[in-house]
Amino acid sequence: MLGSRKIRCALVHDHILLRQGLRRLLEDEPEIEIISESEDSVEALRRVLEHRPEIVIADANVFGFTPDKVELLLRRLSPSTHVLFLSMEEGFRDRDSRSDVNCAVRSTSAQELLEKIKQVHSGGGLIKELPRKSRTEWPDATTPARPRGLTMREREVLKLLAEGRTVRSAASALGVSIKTVDAHKFNLMRKLGIHNKAELVMWAVRKRLVRIPSNL
């Protein structure tokens, strides 16, 4: 253990039994503290912003990005956070950049997993320094909505989706049809230049449209 401080980890996986099994396994390790669990990218982003873990242990596919972009996305919210991916695929790699990936595969033992966590914690992740952000690639609070901003209804839809609501649930909350919410979702993502729910959540978090701890 590095000094007396534990390595603070967040778990992200949509398989609840696997996620709970990992938690029980890692909680027995004196070096590790599990500070949160999430089943999807929406909840994971909020948890990372709230808790600022050193390591996110995540299913390789849950965010819908390549590994380098997942780490970039998380580190926009929490610069000290790195990612250890879980994959069923042996030799899992970042297929876009062909770079090695911090990854635990199905043949990884409990001891090997612990060593990988320590390695990522001490050596950092895929991205050693945050690159300058492209305005079109990673929209944030300083990037204005384009070209005319979001309508009030689009902001309502954005807030509900960023809080983890499904399209059906958002439609019920607003008293409109599912098709209407889908249309608003398409329009607001087009205006903001974002392409999936994880980016949408990040934009909403940075604009303070979703509830986050008051001390952040």
Banded model confidence at residue 57, pLDDT cuts 50, 70, 90: very high
Handedness of CA 104, 108, 113, 117 (dihedral sign): negative
According to CATH, the topology of domain 132-216 is Rossmann fold (3.40.50)
C-alpha to C-alpha distance for 117 and 137, rounded to whole angstroms: 29
- Tens digits of per-residue pLDDT, 120-177? 888 766 555 545 544 334 444 334 334 357 888 988 898 888 777 889 999 999 999 9
Are 7-123 and 132-216 the same fold in CATH?
yes
* Top CATH class, 7-123: alpha beta
C-alpha to C-alpha distance for 58 and 193, rounded to whole angstroms: 26
SS3 of 198, please? helix
Domain ranges of the chain: 7-123, 132-216
Could you please report the per-residue DSSP string of 135-180? TTTS--TTS--SSS---HHHHHHHHHHHTT--HHHHHHHHTS-HHH
**End-to-end Cα separation, the chain, in angstroms:** 28
Q: How far is CA 74 from the centre of its chain?
A: 6
Banded model confidence at residue 9, pLDDT cuts 50, 70, 90: very high
What is the reported pTM? 0.65
- Residue pair 107/78 in contact by the 8 Å Cβ criterion: no
